[in-house]
Amino acid sequence: MNEKSAVAEESKRPVAQDDGKKRAQRVMLRFSMKAHVTLAGKPNTFTVTTVSVNPNGALLVAPQLIPESAEIVLENPNTRERAACRVVRTAKPMAGGYEVPVAFDPPAPHFWKIDFPPADWRTAGA
């Protein structure tokens, strides 16, 4: 494998974030999926994109505001697998929509179909 292809292969691997706080390992993963949610008494389905994921949930970018405590069903468009979750904090406006932190309810650690770094994993130089 030449250096260029090694760099390209490395960029495909999930990158774990560690900000020093005790929480589940987050992995930067951009993935589009469907979100099913009831807003103002009406069912809505729209496309959301993950910013980061963890065994307990994700940080999503949604095209519209989803209120804290709202129940959402995420649907993987490739597998059609669904997972129930809820919004755990107030969404933050950002370019392109709103950052929406969600937690699975009940837990669904295998929903993302990836292996997460072990709890004691640290980045180089940390």
What are 10-44's pLDDT values in tens digits? 334 444 444 444 456 778 889 999 999 999 999 99
What's the rounded mean pLDDT across residues 114-125? Answer: 71
- The class that CATH gives domain 3-18+26-104 is mainly beta
Q: Is the dihedral of CA 41, 82, 99, 20 positive or negative?
A: positive
Helix (H) or strand (E) holding 115: none
DSSP conformation letters of 4-33 = HHHHHHHHTS-EEE--SSSSPPEEE---EE
In order of 36, 39, 45, 98, the CA distances from 42 in angstroms are 11, 5, 10, 20
Please name the residue that has the structure tokens 């090694």. 6
CB 54 within 8 A of CB 47: no
Helix (H) or strand (E) holding 4: helix 3-11
Distance CA 47, CA 51 (A): 13
51-105 confidence digits (pLDDT tens) = 999 999 999 999 999 999 999 999 999 899 999 999 999 999 999 899 999 999 9
